[in-house]
Structure formats: structure tokens, C-alpha cells
Structure 1
Amino acid sequence: MPNDTSITPVLRVIPRDQHAISRKDISANALRVLYRLREGGYQGYLVGGAVRDLLAGRHPKDFDVATDATPDQVKHLFRNCRLIGRRFRLAHVVFGREIIEVATFRANVDDGSGDRETHEGGRLLRDNVYGTIEDDAVRRDFTANALYYTIEDFSVRDYVGGFEDVANRRMRLIGDPETRYREDPVRMLRAVRLAAKLGFEVEAASAEPIPRLASLLAEAAPARLFEECMKLFLSGHAVASFEGLEQHGLVAALFPETAAALASNRSGALRKMLLAGLGNTDARVEADEPVSPAFLFAVLLWPAYCRELMKLQAQGVSPVEAQRRAADRVTVHQLSTIALPRRFSLPMQEIWLMQARFSLRQRKRVMRTLAHPRFRAAWDFLLLRGITSDAHAEDIAFWREAQDDPDHAIAAHPPEGEGEGDAAAPRKRRRRRRRATAALGTD
């Protein structure tokens, strides 16, 4: 919060016997960085999500460090260090596959000695103004992320009430919520995501501006919103994340056509299927099984596809053409908000378009469908559709059998209009066309 000096940090030290953080739960490499900084004459603290998660009884995946050393000074201390970033200049200390991110304390007010740029709407474009640990604490986003663990006495240092907020399972913004969201609209998504991940509630004052400011997400880079969606829905808390987006009025900002389709679906079947799909994603993450972003977005945008398909068919467009157009239109419209890479958008469309194949029983088509590289994903998608509608029960039964014995399945469920007499009818032999030699220039 560049110009907000109204917050006065008040230090509270929580001694080791009053918190649950143990060094055995901290990455050995993060501890190496902390000890090396101290040996070099600098302050160094474990900070942010790692401290928050450890206090909440969770196991962090990443460990970040805050220090009074500048990025160049950190690089001088560690040969295995690289400097990254323009918006936020950071040091990455690399230990094989693990990276410890080291950030220099940042200040609230730019005295002209640093590097800060703000958009006219209040959005922070670049922030490399360094300061003290007190400055750093009050400029962080949520109180739960402004907690510092020190190896000097193994205490936790709290300047903004974050320790109490973690104990009360509460996500609370530091400073004026509207100002903080205008600085970086993606903070609204972070509030929802962290609350879903931790089982916290977004504090009332921090939640109030979100529906009013949701449209600011249009200013965020589509590529950044794609990355945020990956965190929202592929971290094992997809259902809770989507429900949080609904609660705070953010679905329409991220998925405008899906939001419109859900609002117009009176039966609630589309929402039920969407949540079932996200629940399936959560189960796969929990079981440490791979989850495809293509399948995820096929679930998230299916309501929009169904709505567009119905519109086109009502206009008299043929079924096959309507399916193709609907898939293309939904994808193109969504890309203006979220930069979905083609390596995911094309398989997503294939999953949708293959749904129409599941009503076909002709042997060649059945064999071709079974051999399709996207069959397994499309089949899983059909099973999801079966959760919300009995209309797919016969297709599900057929294709479940066809995967084991296609010939038996086809015999037991012959294609419509292809009874025994039809099947036995002789097929006409196609006449071979003579090569048009004159057209080939060989006359």
C-alpha cells in the first residue's frame, strides 16, 4: 500500500513455548539460508505462507525468506543464487529441485531512492522500494501472511495481529481493503483461494468490497489469471474455491458465459455436474493422480458450451455444425479473460465434441471412438454427465461394456434402424472410379 501510512505496526513476540512451529518441520535448505544470512550480518526470517501453514497445522510446500539484505547482497552470499523479476526483484537460492525465495523487506513510502510505479487506477506495477521489517509487515496483503519466524530465539514475530487471525481461522487484509484490491485485483482471488485451502473465512470488512470491485479483474493479464485458476482448482480445494467465488461474486468476472448459463439453468443440473467434476478433481489431487487442465476447463466451461449449443440449434443450425461452432465461440470468448493455452483448449473441445459420439452404435464408429486418444477423458466426462441426468444411463452401460468386448456390446445394443434383417443385407460394392489421366497432365 504505497501511500498508506495510517497503520502503525505493533510488535508482538510469540515465544517458542506458545506456538507449534518446530525446526524439524522446516526445510533444511530454508534453515541453511537463514543461518547463512545471520552469519553474513543480515536479518533473516521465515515468512508468509510457510509460517501461516505451520501455525495452522499444515505442511508447507514452499519456504520463503525475508531479509534486510538487498538482492545483490543475497547473490553475493550464495553462489547458487539467481536474481529474478522486474515487478518485484527477488533472489532465488537454488538447492537442486528446491528453490528458497528470498525477498528484501519492502517499504510503504517511496522516498525517491527506490523503484516503484503505480497505475493511475491504484494498481501497483512495480515495487522495489526497500525498508525495515515493520515496513515489510504492513505492506503485505493478509495479516496471516505477515508473520515472521526467527532462528535467533525460535519465536514468531507479529506486527499486525496475524497470529490471532490464524488462531481464529480468519483471512483479513492489512489496511483499507478497497485500496489493497485496487493495487492488485488478483488479491480478491487470493483471498478466496487461501480461505478455501485453509478452511478460513474472509473477514467481513475484507469481503465487502469484492463484489463491487470484481470487474477490476479485467485489468489483470489473462496469463496471470490462468495461473491463478491453476492454483484455485488444482490444489485439492476446487469445490471450496468455486463456492467461494460464488459467495463473493467472482464467477462472472472469471467465467462470464458459465455464470450466465448457471443463472439461467433453473434445474441446477449444470451446477451439480460442475461441482461433481471439481469434486472428482479434488479426489485425484488427494490420491496424487494427474489432473489435466483440459479436463478441468471442460468442466468449468461446459455450462457455457451447452447454452451456446442450444442457441445455435434453436437457430436451425445442424447438430454437428452447432457443436463445432459452440465449442469455438465459447473458447474464443473465454480467451479474452483467461489465457487458456491451445494445448489445453483443443483437447477441451475434443472432450465436448466426443460426447455426441456416445449415442452412435455402428461398429466402425464404435471402434474409432475407442481408439481416439481423448476417449478416456471423454468417457470420464460422460460419467459426470450421468450424475445429473438419467438420460445417459444407456450410453454409459453400452460404453462400459464396449471397452471390454465391443462386439458383444454392439450385438446386445444394435444401432437404431439396424436390426437383424438390416445387418444381414448385402452391401453394395462401390464402383472404382477410373483415374482422370488428362487431369493429371499425363494425356
Structure 2
Amino acid sequence: MIRKFLHQVFSRKTPASSSTSTLTVIPFKRHGIRRHQITPCALKIATQIQQAGFSAYIVGGAVRDLLLGLTPKDFDIATNATPEEVHHIFRRSRIIGRRFRLVHVMCGAETVEVSTFRGSSTEEDDPVAIQLTDQHGRLLHDNVFGSQEEDAARRDFTVNALFYDPAKEEILDYMKGYEDIKAKRLRIIGDPIQRYREDPVRMLRAVRLASKLGLQIESETAKPIGDLAPLLHNVPPSRLFDEMLKLLLSGYALPCVVELRARGLHHGLLPMLDVILEQPLGERFITIALKNTDERIRQNKPVSPGFLFAILLWHEVLSRWNSLQAGGEKPAPALFKAIDTILSIQRNKLAIPRRFDAVIQEIWTMQPRFEARAGRKPLRMLTHPRFRAAFDFMMLRCESGELNAELGEWWKTFLSADGDQREKMLSSQPGPKRNKRRRSRKKASPSNDPGSDTMIPDTQP
């Protein structure tokens, strides 16, 4: 019984009569992609699979990006060989995945993902297919092998359903994806409502791809997004986090966030984002920060995910912090309590991995310490491992108008100054006010740091 079930899941195919796609073969003279534009590893792997008697094509985003004149991030391969057959061809390979088995083939420092053509798993008259979806229509399992045509039909967007044969330098197009790329159009394959129900993350992917690639989302593809946005609540938080990270690191985070808000998708992605963007300072802060982040990514400069999430959540922390202080709590405990509350809420919503918590918390807790410019505190701040990230964060606050611009200019001058100039700058700053009793105690202990009376205790030794 179990063997029969597994055979149905892994071997069932959709009848050819149900397909409405038409194959178009696009020669090199039309598309202009040469095989040498494929990385040597991916080309070698595709060639070896073909020499073993199977078909092998470069697929997905790599073909799309090459047609758009972009440099692909990686090259994936699709084949009619099973994972076991691919694994047998390549000694340095491993089969991975539970929802759908893939093969990772290692070639030098590069790893190429090889997938077997996938088939449909949503036939209404198949009891196995019914078990593969939840009550909202979301696919829970997709372990179905199929033909190349079926593989094209089950991909998300037409621009991702192109197959490039490096041997013949031809593109096989079943879904008119080549036409859509030329028309700068993003169109989902199949019925948009059904496809979004199968995987609600496709709505977020549509926004990200359209913003990143400069494509216009086709009207029928865009129409159901607003109504189906609540389906994102059914997606595992870890998947939402992965998709959010791709969006923020796309180099087009700002237009993506604007588009998310316009289409009502932020409620399912970052539930607090709407509140943040309704605050004038918050909206300006996030706009400037994301614009700067996009510029860094386009210049191939590193960007910390922790820094990005610190930006997005800061004004919620600030609002909670101010409320706690207004209720009578002291600044330092109030800040830590606000941080714990906001991160706890977002962890349940977005599954931010705990490995980012330290970065986020240190950036936030260092902010009040930038305002303490007397004594030795500024010098010790420079030795903090998160100083640069916290400094950049503080400068964004100054640029957005949240902090006085004079504070940012002082720190910029302090960083570029030599030792003597720094000493003069520190001595010119007024020290913290103390009552007479406290001053008398300080005189008895000349080694005490005059700058120790800050909101956030210094954690450095």
C-alpha cells in the first residue's frame, strides 16, 4: 500500500490533453545568448548529463537575466534524469530536499543545482493530489516528476519558464516567456487565484521580480493580489523571512517596500510596517535607509541583514521606549524592555533568526551613548565591535531629522581627527551635572570616569 502511494506521488503525470502550451524554439540569431556566457561548471555539468543520454537545460532566472542583459547569480539545470541517475553521473554530488528532491553537484568552489522535470500535482480527480494541499489550496508536497512541458507549466512566471540548450544554443519556450521579456511584462502561469493559493509567497515574488527587473505586472496577474494577501498568514514564518531577506537584498528594496504597501502585502509580511510608514519621521528614516542600502548592494558592498531589520523595526522600538518613559520608567530599563517586546512580537510574525538578535540589540542600545560626548566614553565607543553599524544607524537618524544634525557632524569630525584634536573636542564638551554630595564623592576617587553617567552602561572592559 505504501509502495503504491509513493509510486503515485513520484511518478504520476498530467495527461497531455490537459496542456494548452505550445512549444516555440528560439534560435541564437534571435536571442543572442552564447554558451560561453554560462559558467564553466554549469556548462560542464549540462554537457555530461547530455552525454549520458539525458536532456539537460539551463533554466529559470539565469536564462531570464541573460535575456535582460543582467549577470545571473547562479545557473540551475533541469533534466529528465532522476535524482538517482544524476547522482550516479557525478561523484561529487548529493541528493537533498524533502518537498522535492534535488541534486547539488559540486564543481570546484561552485555548486550547481540540478532538478528533475516536475509535473502537476493539483488534479481534482486524483485523491493523492487532494492530500497534497491544505484547506486554503496551498501545496504541502510537490514530489511529482513529469515532462519538460509539464515542468514549464508548473513554474511561477512565464519569464522563469525558459529552457536554454547550451549544445544547440537554442531556447525552448512553452509559455511565451520570451515575448513577455521583450514586452517587459511579468505574467503568472495559469489561473492567478489558483497559483497564489498554491503558494502565497508568489505574490511577494511578483513584487520583487517586477521591481528588480523593471517589469510591469500584467493586469490579470496583479488583480487578485490585494484580496489574497491574508493567505500569507498561512505561510511558515521561516519562508516569509527568507523571502523578505531576498527582497531587502535585491538592490531594489525601496521600490519593493513601496509596492508592497500599495498592494496591501505588508500586513502579511511585516505587520508593523504600516504603522511605521504612517509616522512622518519613520517613513523618511526608512526611505533614506533603504535607498542607501540599495546603493551599497549595487556597488557590491556588504550589507548586514541585522542592520536592515534594525532599521525597519526601530520606530516601533522608539515609540514603545517613549511610552514606557512617559509612564515613569527610567531610560535604560525602558529601552531594554521595549527591545524585548518588539523582537518578541516580530519573532512570532516573521521568524527573525536569533543569530541576528545581538546585532540588532547592540545597534539600538548604542544609540543613546552617541549623545554622551564628554569624558572617555566616545573613545571607548570606537572600540566597540558594532561601532560602525551603530554609527551608520545614528547618521541615518540625523539625516532623517530624528536627531539634531550637529550630533552627526560632531561624530564625523571626531572620527577623522587625530589624538590631540580628539582630546580638545572631549574637553570642550560640558560634563554631566551632579549634585554637591556626588561631586564630593568623585573627588575622593580620582580614577572614576567623568562620563559614566550615561543612559546605557558601557559594556566594554
Match of 2:349 in 1: 337
Displacement of 1:360 in angstroms is 1.6
Pairwise mapping of residues 85-234 of structure 1 onto structure 2 (< 5 A)? 85-109=97-121, 117-234=132-249
Q: Give distance in 1, aligned partners of 2:324 and 2:182.
A: 53
Farther off after superposition, 363-372 or 134-143:
363-372
Displacement of 1:250 in angstroms is 1.7
| Secondary structure in 2 matching 1:45 | strand
| Secondary structure in 1 matching 2:106 | strand
- TM-aligned CA distance change 1:373 to 1:3, over 3 Å: same
Question: Are 2:253 and 1:238 aligned?
Answer: yes
Displacement of 1:391 in angstroms is 4.0
Displacement of 1:412 in angstroms is 2.9
Displacement of 1:132 in angstroms is 1.0
Farther off after superposition, 354-363 or 153-162:
354-363
Match of 1:53 in 2: 65
Which residue identity is paired with 2:374? Answer: Q
Maintained 8 Å contact 1:115/1:126 = no
| Secondary structure in 2 matching 1:92 | strand
For residue 423 of structure 2, the aligned residue among 407, 411, 435 is 407
Which residue identity is paired with 1:366? Answer: P
| Secondary structure in 2 matching 1:352 | helix
| Secondary structure in 1 matching 2:376 | helix
Maintained 8 Å contact 1:255/1:301 = no
Match of 1:353 in 2: 365
Maintained 8 Å contact 1:252/1:260 = no
Maintained 8 Å contact 1:258/1:303 = no
Q: Give distance in 2, aligned partners of 1:286 and 1:277.
A: 14
Q: Give distance in 1, aligned partners of 2:191 and 2:267.
A: 24
Q: Give distance in 2, aligned partners of 1:39 and 1:366.
A: 65
Q: Give distance in 2, aligned partners of 1:417 and 1:17.
A: 78
Displacement of 1:314 in angstroms is 3.5
Question: Are 2:264 and 1:249 aligned?
Answer: yes
For residue 56 of structure 2, the aligned residue among 23, 31, 44 is 44
Maintained 8 Å contact 2:261/2:274 = no
Q: Give distance in 1, aligned partners of 2:364 and 2:153.
A: 47
Maintained 8 Å contact 2:399/2:405 = no
Farther off after superposition, 384-393 or 114-123:
114-123
Displacement of 1:162 in angstroms is 0.6
Match of 1:271 in 2: 283
Match of 1:396 in 2: 408
Displacement of 1:329 in angstroms is 1.0
Which residue identity is paired with 2:196? Answer: Y
Which residue identity is paired with 1:353? Answer: T
Q: Give distance in 1, aligned partners of 2:40 and 2:178.
A: 24
Maintained 8 Å contact 1:361/1:413 = yes
- TM-aligned CA distance change 1:390 to 1:318, over 3 Å: closer
| Secondary structure in 2 matching 1:125 | coil
- TM-aligned CA distance change 1:255 to 1:137, over 3 Å: same
Which residue identity is paired with 1:428? Answer: K
Displacement of 1:223 in angstroms is 2.0
The two structures have a TM-score, normalised by structure 2, of 0.85
Q: Give distance in 2, aligned partners of 1:190 and 1:261.
A: 23
Maintained 8 Å contact 2:14/2:150 = no
Displacement of 1:38 in angstroms is 1.8
Q: How many residues align?
A: 425
- TM-aligned CA distance change 1:429 to 1:116, over 3 Å: same
Q: CA RMSD in A?
A: 2.8
Q: Give distance in 2, aligned partners of 1:167 and 1:55.
A: 9
| Secondary structure in 2 matching 1:93 | strand
Displacement of 1:430 in angstroms is 5.3
Deviations 1:182-215 (A, max 9, x none): 1111111211121122111222211222222222
Q: Give distance in 2, aligned partners of 1:224 and 1:241.
A: 18
- TM-aligned CA distance change 1:3 to 1:353, over 3 Å: farther
Q: Give distance in 2, aligned partners of 1:34 and 1:371.
A: 50
Displacement of 1:114 in angstroms is 10
Which residue identity is paired with 1:61? Answer: K
Deviations 1:88-107 (A, max 9, x none): 11111110221121111111
> Structure 2: which 5+ residue stretches go unaligned?
1-12, 447-461
Q: Percent identity?
A: 45
